Amino acid sequence: MNMKKVIFMLLLFASLCAEAPSLYYWNMEELDFENFGDYLSLVILQRITNGQVESVGSHRFIPKKKLLAIGSILHFASNDDVIWGAGINGKHPNTKDYHFTKLDVRAVRGPLTRRFLMKRFQIECPEVYGDPALLLPYIFPELKRKENPSYEYIVIPHFTEEHLFPKEEVANVVYPTEPWDVVVEKILDSKFVIASSLHGLVVAEAFGIPARLLKVTRNEPLFKYSDYYLGTGRPHFHYASSVKSALKMGGEKPIKCDLQKLFDAFPFEFWPEVATTLYGP
């Protein structure tokens, strides 16, 4: 029996013993918009599982296991939830903000999240880092960086900062609350991305497009950005305080991480049909 067949049979057996978790991702249903970075969690999981993943949206308290992937959403996790790339939210630094004592961690966004889980909760956490949105070019091979981009640069503010970047006054602004595919296409059609939206940075760098973190308010703590940069091999990052300074600074150093390890850490055992296409019988 060859190794591929052994792996497939093990995955199949495990899947028969466990119900697939439902995907949890952060959204603002009551405000009638989606933040594109958070929504990418559903987009990516739908592609990986061939549309078989069930989403529970923002419904945190459900009587079954959840899968948490993209976002600073671990304060929404419950016991035994599966974690694949999610991170700690810097706005929730206290242990009392969390409602679990054990998790099934496959990967986390970065080493700051890993340290938090291990020190505060003694939860086993592998050294597998990365935001799953970094896998977009591999999961969606039809998405390509434009050979001759239309934009010298674009600006993607955090959704709480959109009012600071009115399109009639600031050039080349793309709001993260626009449809996810529109935002991604604008990124792919740009030479340089300036963003306070974390996933504006992540998606750009996933496709090799230079990007620079923009920090103009204190709305978002540096924790998630530091976690992301550390998880992608860049401990010494610098942010710009204005669009003008970002243009002068240029892009941050390219990402340096093992994306294959991140992909392999996905809990394929819950979706045996997907395992079939990956490993073969």
pLDDT of residue 5: 57
Q: What pLDDT score does 281 carry? A: 36
Residues 86 and 60 in one domain: yes
CA distance 37 to 242: 22
Mean pLDDT computed over 87-91: 97
Least confident of 10-24, 57-71, 172-186: 10-24
Look at residues 14, 134, 110, 121 and name the one whose alpha carbon lies nearest to residue 77.
121
Are residues 183 and 270 located together in one domain of the fold? no
Q: Could you read off the pLDDT of 38-65 as tens digits, one per residue?
A: 999 999 999 999 999 988 866 556 668 9
pLDDT of residue 158: 96
pLDDT surpasses 60 at 267: yes
Same domain? 101 vs 203: no
Integer CA distances (angstroms), 212 to 27, 45, 151, 153, 198, in order: 25, 27, 15, 11, 10
280: confidence class by pLDDT, cuts 50, 70, 90: very low
Least confident of 26-35, 106-115, 213-222, 235-244: 26-35
Reply yes or no on whether the pLDDT at 18 is more than 50.
yes
- Among 174, 179, 172, smallest CA distance to 156 is for 174
Residues 27 and 100 in one domain: yes
Domain range for 206 is: 142-249
Q: Indicate if 112 and 194 belong to the same structural domain.
A: no
Residues 104, 47: one domain?
yes
Pair (112, 171) in one structural domain:
no
| 146 and 130 within one domain | no
Domain count, the chain: 2
**122 HSE (CA, 13 A, CB side):** 1
Q: Which 8-state DSSP code applies to residue 31?
A: G
Q: pLDDT tens digit string along 58-71?
A: 655 666 899 999 99
**Residues 172, 224: one domain?**
yes
Per residue in 114-148, is it b (16+ CB within 10 Å) or e — as a string?
bebbeeeeebebeebbbbbbbbbbeeeeebebeee
- Specify whether the CB–CB gap between 98 and 82 falls below 8 A: no
Do 268 and 229 sit in the same domain of this protein?
Answer: no
68/170 same-domain check: no
- The arithmetic mean of pLDDT across residues 85-111, rounded, is 97
Which token pair is 101?
Answer: 């004592």
Amino acid 16: pLDDT: 45
- pLDDT at residue 131 greater than cutoff 90: yes
